[in-house]
Chain A
Amino acid sequence: MTAQTINRGPGSLLPALPEAHGRAGLGGTLASEWTKIRSVRSTMWSLLFTVLIVVGLGALLNWANSTHEVASGVQLATHEDLVQRTLGAIILGQLVMVVFGAMAVTTEYSTGMIRTSLSAQPRRMDVFWAKLIVVAAVSLVVGEVVSFASFLVSANFWHGRGVDLTLGSPGALQAVAGGGLYLAGTALLSFGFGALLRHTAGAIVTGVFLVFVVDILENAMPQSWQDHVDKWLPPNAGTEVWATRHIPGVDLGSWTGFLVFMLYAVGAILLGAIRFKRSDA
């Protein structure tokens, strides 16, 4: 109907667009969100820091630990979760993921871009899901890359101590893949709070609190409380998926733990989705 009512003279400003069919939907917004995320520097910096922290710092810590460890190789292999130790810097790397996930949505509000975005595609949930899918995909790919790289690099230091640590070691492959899943989960949790709070600092503080600080606070509680609360906290539940040793009854176990962790993320995402759809932009 557009083309029929516009009357183009010979000096028309712009050529007519090809006839449109169907309807603007998720496909277009996915392409758009991908363009958005790859075209700002903060994305590249976040991902670079994730690599440096998880792989680089992880290697440093494992080198230091392996050279100062007094236990024998056999003792280490039987009593320690060395796979988890090789992935240990994920605890710090997740903080960058929190920043990445939050900023994917909060910068739209801090810059005012959201008003331009929603004027181009006013069907808000298309924009929200496209953003979520792009953040999930990018954080999962980066999470898996750093998790595998960290394991492969850091395992070398333990080989030197006579421990045979490979992806074929019991539970190793699942734990290493789980490290990537956990990192993607932290980005999504933070994304949810970003959409809910629409404020970069607020979303980052909330995310860091939930994946980091809450555990420290909980350590200050009486032991009898800790026994009941500990395993349900986001970092403890989530960490199970990148561990190879679990204590039945005390830990939730890999997949139950990860499920609980993702329920926190889903909760945050749903709250974020409601705010994204309903509140004035």
Chain B
Amino acid sequence: MIEANGLTKRYGDRLAVDDLSFSVRPGQVTGFLGPNGAGKSTTMRLILGLDRPTSGSVTVGGRPFHAAAYPMREVGALLDAKAIHGGRSAYNHLLCLAQTNNLPKSRVKAVLELVGLNEVAKKRSKGFSLGMGQRLGIAAALLGDPEVLMFDEPVNGLDPEGILWIRNLMKALAAEGRTVFVSSHLMSEMENTADHLVVIGRGRLVADCSVQEFIDGNSELSIRVKSPQAEKLGALLAEKGGVVVPDGDEAIRVTKLPMTAVGDLAFDNGIRVHELSPIQASLEEAFMELTKDSVEYHAGVPGQGAAPMAAGAAADAVGATGKAEA
């Protein structure tokens, strides 16, 4: 269980984390989402006490992390797989960590076995691939058999096999009743892994809810209509209050009208319809929608304006849901 209360961190005049309150519960995978630069890593550093909060507090298992009798039994974290001395062998790296918490040497062998690195245990980690480095970081996190696990962007740069392995591992750890807190800037990853979401943008809490609530609350059903007379149908739908945007060749995307109304209108006007399908926005779209105002660095895409929807209102709605649940 991780509980943040009014957590704030300021670096110079940049507010990296702004009055963040949330809790991460055991027995499920909690996705920690936000665009790059939203403050996810900073929040994790604050949880571990690597950085000192400007104000507010955060506890793990009811007390500050540094007060844990055996910190590695409390929290296992993988913040940055490259944060190791490359000149040290995998075995010695894990051994020096295990020793700080009086963990038996046999434990080092057990975690190396689990992550599949026992073959290269005596090799210097400098020569490890990204995936091997990530596995070594996970081995370190598991050393203390911790109650809470934190992973910062664990699948970044991994191949599909590695991604699947980490995803299954996180689910298995949560199934054992542990608290699993994993950050990502990719919604698609969380869609398949997380049960619960904490979403932040520019250091502020945007949403704290289940994955399904997040999708329901942030994505509007839209209808794709394909017709040789798409333009005519579009004009009619607009008259009835629909919001219509072109969607490729001879097709339009309609929102604000129920599907039956769209079908009936076409029939009444004798317009041929070749496709009439509901489009449920993916988590990815919901996320983009929700965080577009809080992206740190915008990249301009030629020929594309901002999406014609109001994100602020949706964000507030979900934020409220989350708060009520918490």
Contact = CB atoms under 8 A, between A and B. Distances in A.
Interface string A9-26: 100111111101011100
A216 interface: no
A280 B264 CA distance: 64
A13 B114 contact: yes
A22 B101 contact: no
A85 to B, nearest CB: 38
Given A28-B101, A111-B83, A36 B88 contact: yes
B73 A20 contact: yes
B49 A118 contact: yes
Given A6-B176, A36-B96, A280-B50, A120 B71 contact: yes
Contacts, number: 144
Interface residues of B, number: 56
A35 B85 contact: no
B319 interface: no
A247 interface: no
A108 B110 CA distance: 26
A36 B88 CA distance: 8
B206 interface: no
A31 to B, nearest CB: 4
Interface in B89-105: 89, 92, 95-97, 99-104
B167 to A, nearest CB: 14
Contacts of B50: 115, 118-119, 280-281
Interface stretch (B62-70, B180-188, B296-304, B310-318): B62-70
Interface stretch (A38-46, A151-159, A236-244): A38-46
Nearest to B75: A119
Contacts of A32: 96-97, 99-100
B144 interface: yes
A122 interface: yes
A179 B97 CA distance: 35
Nearest to A279: B52
Q: Chain B CB within 10 Å — which of A24, A29, A278 has the most?
A: A24
A112 B82 contact: yes
Contacts of A119: 48, 50, 71, 75, 77, 79
A8 interface: yes
A233 B287 CA distance: 63
A246 interface: no
Q: Chain A CB within 10 Å — which of B61, B70, B107 has the most?
A: B70
B2 interface: no
B99 A14 contact: no
B69 A22 contact: yes
- Interface size class, chain A: 35 or more
A220 interface: no
A224 interface: no
A7 interface: yes
Nearest to B91: A39
A24 B107 contact: no
B288 interface: no
Nearest to A16: B145
Nearest to B76: A119
A39 B66 CA distance: 27
A41 B178 contact: no
Given A16-B145, A17-B145, A35-B96, A28 B85 contact: no
Contacts of B111: 14
A280 to B, nearest CB: 4
Interface of B: 26, 45, 48-52, 61, 65-66, 68-75, 77, 79-80, 82-89, 92, 95-97, 99-104, 107, 110-111, 114, 140, 142, 144-147, 169, 172-173, 175-178
Given A112-B80, A123-B66, 18 more contacts: A2-B73, A6-B147, A12-B176, A13-B172, A13-B176, A23-B70, A28-B101, A28-B102, A29-B100, A35-B95, A36-B92, A39-B89, A111-B84, A112-B83, A118-B50, A121-B71, A122-B48, A123-B71
5 contacts: A7-B177, A17-B145, A23-B70, A28-B99, A35-B99
